[in-house]
Structure 1
Amino acid sequence: MAAATCPEPTPAERARSVLAAAGSLTVTTQGHRIELIGLHTVDAAARLLLHNPPDGHLAAELAVAPHGDLAALVEFTDVAAVAVRDRVRSRLTLGGWLSALGPKNLVFHPARAVLTEDDGTTVIGLDELTLASPDPLATHEAEMLGRLDAAHADTVAPLARLLPALEQLGATGVRPLRLDRHGLVLRLETADSHLDVRLPFTAPATHPGEAVRQIHALLARAGARPRRRRLPTTS
């Protein structure tokens, strides 16, 4: 995992990034479990709006709810853009209730938020979630990681020189796993496990163009390092 001295987004910021970038979610109520694809939006206050799906199950269940709202669990799965082992990077679970918002939309009122990642589970306060901002690269991350991986011979392989030699022992491949304003995370894969290592930027990136410049700076640093055995980029 990332070293403790490397800056990285807070759990609340990571949760907001999952909300911002997710294209789908799963809603579970007492009567249904429904996957919605491209049918939600998140406003600036982290309010989750659901567009009533064509089958109308949620609206129908809400219509007969005794108090005009419907208890629900909303789940988001954050999947790495690059095909790596254990591709799920995190899961965000929101508990709360749904209410109607006009004739075609529902609004979700969260009561609790839980972020589950490789290193454990974090309960996020609702005030933290509301006040946090998504990472400025969140909605661009998948495309940028895909480009890095596609050009692995010129990007990922040289960047591996910046990783400590001891962490590379037994590694069979290295892939780009995560990108945020603070840096790039590479995944070192071994025969039966993996290790995620963060390469920090010298300053936070506020937009994709700045992130590209920071990656070029990392590549320049890597180019100045003595060449070691080049790790394969795929297993």
Structure 2
Amino acid sequence: MPSAAERTRTLVQSTRSAVLVVPGLDVARTEQLIPDTRGVGPEGDLFLAFPADSPVVRAATHAQGDELTAVLEITDVAPVSVPHRIRGRAWISGWLTSVPGLTEPGRMMLRLEFGEAYVDDLWGAENIEPEDFRDAAPDPLVVHEAELLQHLHAAHGEQLRTLCGLLGERTTETFSAHQPAAVPVALDRFGLRVRFVEDRGACFDARFEFPEPVRDVGELRRAMHTLFEAASH
């Protein structure tokens, strides 16, 4: 399974919704707290670009040598329609400074020096150590995950339902005679998570591991083919 550090690094470097909260800073609109871009430096610090006139930029510039604490809050929502769509949240807290000259005119780059992080997602809740976050890499499928899940949901619903047969006795015990709907809810290099949903709204997740971790979409296609083949027998 992906480590807590990898899952958090994946969320930071994805398109998931994120806001930068600075204690004591009042803003007119929550949108003013959303960074334009997010990245991670070689030491594990976060680099967040904001409009130069952003309240967050003004606060960081005004603080100068003082320590200005901030928290990047990320919310991960499934890109497909499914019960309980929030897949997880992550919080990265640290100290905020402005870094002039790292982005184009009209914007300012802020550095959030990594202090501590916490993730609470489909895998569970864990703290992340700075060195683990620094050394982790985002999942290679993160840039394609939303599109891939939407495609699976729209075009391969019948094949996804066949995966229910791989669950053995659990399916018989949990569901009635009719076959539940199967919604692909998460995808990473290690496997696919499917949410099986009954008419009355009862649901549970099942994780289907790939024979070996995939490195790109080509390897993913082969892994999915193997998975569907196993379910059809």
Tell me, yes or no, whether TM beats 0.5: yes
- 1:205 maps to 214
Q: What TM-score, normalized to structure 2?
A: 0.84
For the residues of structure 2 that align with 1:23 and 1:118, how far apart are their CA atoms? Answer: 15
Residues 44, 141 of structure 1: alpha-carbon distance in 2 compared, 3 angstrom cutoff: farther
Residues 57, 192 of structure 1: alpha-carbon distance in 2 compared, 3 angstrom cutoff: same
Match of 1:131 among 122, 131, 135: 135
* Residue 191 (structure 2) pairs with residue 183 (structure 1): yes
* Residue 87 (structure 2) pairs with residue 89 (structure 1): yes
Residues 124, 49 of structure 1: alpha-carbon distance in 2 compared, 3 angstrom cutoff: same
1:37-67: CA deviations, max 9, x gaps? 5433334554321112254211211222263
Whether the aligned pair in 1 keeps the contact of 2:164 and 2:171 (CA below 8 Å) is no
Unaligned runs of 5+ in 1: 1-7, 225-235
Residues 43, 209 of structure 1: alpha-carbon distance in 2 compared, 3 angstrom cutoff: farther
Whether the aligned pair in 1 keeps the contact of 2:16 and 2:75 (CA below 8 Å) is no
> Which secondary structure state, in structure 2, belongs to the residue aligned with residue 64 of structure 1?
helix
For the residues of structure 2 that align with 1:38 and 1:145, how far apart are their CA atoms? Answer: 25
Q: What TM-score, normalized to structure 1?
A: 0.83
Relative contact order, CA 8 A, sep 6+: which one is greater? 1
- 2:104 maps to none
RMSD: 2.1
- 1:232 maps to none
1:111-130 to 2 correspondences below 5 Å:
111-118=115-122, 120-130=124-134
Q: Give the letter for the 2:182 counterpart.
A: V
1:175 Cα offset (Å): 0.6
Whether the aligned pair in 2 keeps the contact of 1:95 and 1:113 (CA below 8 Å) is yes
- 1:19 maps to 12
Match of 1:28 among 21, 36, 43: 21
Whether the aligned pair in 2 keeps the contact of 1:161 and 1:222 (CA below 8 Å) is yes
- Greater helix fraction, Structure 1 or Structure 2: 2
For the residues of structure 2 that align with 1:60 and 1:12, how far apart are their CA atoms? Answer: 31
Residues 42, 161 of structure 1: alpha-carbon distance in 2 compared, 3 angstrom cutoff: same
Find runs of 4+ consecutive structure 1 residues off by over 4 angstroms: none
Whether the aligned pair in 2 keeps the contact of 1:79 and 1:88 (CA below 8 Å) is yes
The number of aligned residues is 217
1:119 Cα offset (Å): 5.8
For the residues of structure 2 that align with 1:69 and 1:133, how far apart are their CA atoms? Answer: 28
% identity of equivalent residues: 30
1:1-235 to 2 correspondences below 5 Å:
8-29=1-22, 30-32=24-26, 34-36=32-34, 38-43=36-41, 45-53=43-51, 55-65=53-63, 67-103=65-101, 104-118=108-122, 120-167=124-171, 169-170=174-175, 172-190=180-198, 191-224=200-233
1:184 Cα offset (Å): 0.8
Q: Give the letter for the 1:170 counterpart.
A: F
1:10 Cα offset (Å): 1.1
1:11 Cα offset (Å): 1.1
1:170 Cα offset (Å): 2.5
Whether the aligned pair in 2 keeps the contact of 1:46 and 1:129 (CA below 8 Å) is yes
